[in-house]
Amino acid sequence: MELIVQPDIESLAQAAAARIVTASAAAIAARGRFTIALAGGSTPAALYRLLAAPSHVDRLDWRHTEIFFGDERCVPPEHEWSNYGMAFRTLLSHVPLPADQCHRMEGELPPAVAESNYAHTMACAFDSRTAPWPQLDMILLGMGEDGHTASLFPGMEALAEGSKTVVATEVPAYVRPQVPRVTLTLPVLNAGREVMFLLAGQGKAAIVKRVLAETSSEGGQVQLLPAARVRPARVRPAPGRLTWLLDRAAASLLGEV
């Protein structure tokens, strides 16, 4: 696991963009396409705007890129809470990505239907004959102050899902927005060739300290917080890379880093 600390959200976005550009070139060279799952929430917006900026937009080969989503809130795509909507406003509406290469979760549909449809999308996009789980080249993730990631929340059944690639889930009562979600499951997150957490702000410092301590523990998965269960390097036969990208505020309780 690699831990990178940057001074602020803008330099965090620069570091993340550089890793995405590198991963993209390697994936296209090796397999003819780059598959990336975008994170929701607010933290990634700075990265998405940077990828769409004149300084970066031509660094990715959008014709050979396929966009997926780690999770979605069950609201219409134009809703302010939509993860797709945030990505569309900050990135997707500004880059030459072919429309059929953007695979959004259909938040406007009943959760069970959106789950089934996205599972079909993943099955069509990834060949299950070559790997037990869809292998995305890059998975971007955030983390909530409760240690959730994507829409895998502590104590919810979705966290323990071990056979489906996609599940619909309710959220704990304390979570906002209080709407059902659709999320990739933990086996898919752990099958990623590269998984990158993006975290910023003092509010994340305490949970970052706790989760990174759990992530590096040799214990099993059962008691760990959701974000601590994302350990692609332990997957066999194809271990993935795990990177935690933090700004200085989110890393402020980690001691000497």
Instruction: Summarize as ranges the residues that interact with ligand 6PG (CB under 6 A).
Output: 39-43, 70-71, 73, 83, 142-144, 148-151
Smallest distance from ligand 6PG to CB 199, Å? 8
Pick 16 or 150: Cβ nearer ligand 6PG: 150
Q: Least separation, in Å, of the C-beta of 80 and ligand 6PG?
A: 13
Q: Which is nearer to ligand 6PG, 23 or 143 (CB)?
A: 143
Pick 33 or 41: Cβ nearer ligand 6PG: 41
Give the shortest CB-72-to-ligand 6PG separation in angstroms. Answer: 7
DSSP annotation of 39: P
DSSP 169: E
Element (H, E) at 10: helix 9-31
Block residue for tokens 């509010």: 203
Nearer to ligand 6PG, 4 or 28 (CB): 4
Nearest-angstrom CA–CA distance, 25 and 36: 12
The DSSP element (H or E) to which 26 belongs, if any, is helix 9-31
Q: Sheet of 241-247: strands edge to edge?
A: 2-6, 241-247, 194-199, 138-141, 34-38, 65-69
Considering the complex, state which of residue 143 and residue 195 has its C-beta at the smaller distance from ligand 6PG. 143
Tell me the closest approach of the beta carbon of residue 131 to ligand 6PG, in angstroms. 24
Q: Report, in Å, the least distance between residue 8 CB and ligand 6PG.
A: 15
What the block records as the tokens of 128 is: 């299950």
Collapsed DSSP state (helix, strand, coil) of residue 211? helix
